[in-house]
């Protein structure tokens, strides 16, 4: 059965009938022409979706039926339908193959109970083939447009999608909207001059005025908000993106994405609970700025290079950063040497037993010893040269080309000490050999 139906557009009930004589040929031809003028033929027919094939492992998925049986992957996204006009009482008689989507480039897979338009075109062999279009907008909702009393497959439920609405837009805008609360909005500034692209996933459920309006009216559209929606990427020109940041920063621009005066300024702003940038093996990630490159975080900022270098200021930097622990050890050793030298010089200079020289040496050496003690007290975990915010890792040796130095790898690893080792002895029962073959 192919889609297509006739629709009567004019009634002939008011026509005057003759006395019942046999019509001649001219009268028959005129009558046929009259009937043709009173109806229209539609080749595109709406159809209710009965089944959607998206899982090739499903037992009812279309099969190839050839020498290598298996699921026919060309039917992914195909549907089984009931033609609303040609099959008003249901049944699938006459349609023996699933119907593929009209386009594979932009396609919205329908739900059970939604309505699609079905038409007969050609396949790759030039033969007739049925195709379906995107679901019809039956009730003006972006989440689902099922026929009344059609429950669907029991997975996509209205109560779970009730908050997902069409995106608020202006004339001339282009929207790509999903039924699950995601959208791509191609729009412009209020003066219709500067373009923007806004990608949003997860429409906001914040209890505000908009949410109240949604509850009271199922057709209230959603106004995107980069702070309240779950995740967003805004690509804008000459638009102030009012991004709220959890970590304060003195470098945050007062007008994010908008320059002073009439000069447009572009911006790419991302906001989500987690943002990850990753390059594959042997790849790179680069960030460049003509003015500032700012990082701000409330808890920590971590720069890690397990067996490489971290260069600050220039990739050719050769001036190493001082490590606090090693500096403390060096200063402690230096103070010990100074004390030893001071003690030896004092003994040498006072060896002649002249009281005046002894008093002078004691006065100098005691003051020097006191100053060394004061410096010693300034060392330790609370030393002034220890930063409370910036920390550096221990070096790991990478000598030997790409071969890793295992001793260096575990140099800063903290191992749990074994508190006690207990030796237990067990008596093994003596094995008695048996006669015969063992196996």
pLDDT digits (tens, 9 = 90+) for 184-222: 999 998 889 899 999 999 998 887 888 889 888 888 999
- Examine residue 125 and state whether it is found in any structural domain, yes or no: yes
Final residue belonging to a domain, choices 132, 154, 177 = 132
Banded model confidence at residue 115, pLDDT cuts 50, 70, 90: very high
Average pLDDT score over residue span 340-346 = 84
Position 176 scores a pLDDT of: 95
Are 124 and 168 part of one and the same domain? no
The reply to whether 27 and 104 lie within a common domain is yes
CA distance 248 to 252: 8
**Long-range pairs for 238-246 at CB < 8 Å and ≥24 separation?**
238/189, 238/193, 238/194, 238/264, 238/265, 238/266, 239/189, 239/194, 239/196, 239/267, 241/267, 241/269, 243/269, 243/271, 245/296, 246/298
Residue 67 lies in a domain: yes
Is 393 among the domain residues? yes
Residues 123 and 220 in one domain: no
| Percentage of the chain lying above the pLDDT 90 cut | 30
> What pLDDT score does 85 carry?
85
Q: Dihedral of the CA atoms 220, 179, 164, 156 (nearest 10)?
A: 120
Q: What is the pTM of this model?
A: 0.72
Q: pLDDT tens digit string along 245-293? A: 999 888 888 778 776 665 668 899 999 999 999 999 989 999 999 888 9
Q: Does residue 279 fall inside a structural domain?
A: no
| Contacting residues for 379 by C-beta, under 8 A, at least 6 apart | 328, 331, 332
- The alpha carbon of residue 276 and the mean position of all alpha carbons in its chain are separated, in whole angstroms, by 8
Mean pLDDT, range 17-31, rounded to an integer: 75
Residues 99 and 179 in one domain: no
Query: Nearest-5° angle of CA 50, CA 51, CA 56?
Result: 170
Structure confidence at residue 437 (pLDDT)? 45
Q: Which of 128-132, 173-177, 322-326, 414-418 has the lowest mean pLDDT?
A: 414-418
Is position 285 within any domain?
A: no
Tell me the average pLDDT of the chain: 82
According to DSSP, residue 75 is labeled G
Full residue range of the structural domain in which residue 372 is found? 320-412
Asked whether the beta carbons of 81 and 131 are under 8 A apart, the reply is no
Domain tally for the chain? 3
Domain boundary among 132, 147, 177: 132
Indicate whether 395 pLDDT > 50: yes
15 part of a folded domain: yes
Q: Is residue 145 part of a domain?
A: no
How many residues are there in the chain?
439
pLDDT digits 0-9 by tens, 357-371: 788 888 888 888 888
Distance CA 312, CA 318 (A): 10
Q: Which residues of 195-228 are buried (b: 16+ CB within 10 A; e: fewer)?
A: bbebbbebbbeeeeebbeebeeeeebebebbbeb
Residue 241 lies in a domain: yes
């Amino acid at each position: 059965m192919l889609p297509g139906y006739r629709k009567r557009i004019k009634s002939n009930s008011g026509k005057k009938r003759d006395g019942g004589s046999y019509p001649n040929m001219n009268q028959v031809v005129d009558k046929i022409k009259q009937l043709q003028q009173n109806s229209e033929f539609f080749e595109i027919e709406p159809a209710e979706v009965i089944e959607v094939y998206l899982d090739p492992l499903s037992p009812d998925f279309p099969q190839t039926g050839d020498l290598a049986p298996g699921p026919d992957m060309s039917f992914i996204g195909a549907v089984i339908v009931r033609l609303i006009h040609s099959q008003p009482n249901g049944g699938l008689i006459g349609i023996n193959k699933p119907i593929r989507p009209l386009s594979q480039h932009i396609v919205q897979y329908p739900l059970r109970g939604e309505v699609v338009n079905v038409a007969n075109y050609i396949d790759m062999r030039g033969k007739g083939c049925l195709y379906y279009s995107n679901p019809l907008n039956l009730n003006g909702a972006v989440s689902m447009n099922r026929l009344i009393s059609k429950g669907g497959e029991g997975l996509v439920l209205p109560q779970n999608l009730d908050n997902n609405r069409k995106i608020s837009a202006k004339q001339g805008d282009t929207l790509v909207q999903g039924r699950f609360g995601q959208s791509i909005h191609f729009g412009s500034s209020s003066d219709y001059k500067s373009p923007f692209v806004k990608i949003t996933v997860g429409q906001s459920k914040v209890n505000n005025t908009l949410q109240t309006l949604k509850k009271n009216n199922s057709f209230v559209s959603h106004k995107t908000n980069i702070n309240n929606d779950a995740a967003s990427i805004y690509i804008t020109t000459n638009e102030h993106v009012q991004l709220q940041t959890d970590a304060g920063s003195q470098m945050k621009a007062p007008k994010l994405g908008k320059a002073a005066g009439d000069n447009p300024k572009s911006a790419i702003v991302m906001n989500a609970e987690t943002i990850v940038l990753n390059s594959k093996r042997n790849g790179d990630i680069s960030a460049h700025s003509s003015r500032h490159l700012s990082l701000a975080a409330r808890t920590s900022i971590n720069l890690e290079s397990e067996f490489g270098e971290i260069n600050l200021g220039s990739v050719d930097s050769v001036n190493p950063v001082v490590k606090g622990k090693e500096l403390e050890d060096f200063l402690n050793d230096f103070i010990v040497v100074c004390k030893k030298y001071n003690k030896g010089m004092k003994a040498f200079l006072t060896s002649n037993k002249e009281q005046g020289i002894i008093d002078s040496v004691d006065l100098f050496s005691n003051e020097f010893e006191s100053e060394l003690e004061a410096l010693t007290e300034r060392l330790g975990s609370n030393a002034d040269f220890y930063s409370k915010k910036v920390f550096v890792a221990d070096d790991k040796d990478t000598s030997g080309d790409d071969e890793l130095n295992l001793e260096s790898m575990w140099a800063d690893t903290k191992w749990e000490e074994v508190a006690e080792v207990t030796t237990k002895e067990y008596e093994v029962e003596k094995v008695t050999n048996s006669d015969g073959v063992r196996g």
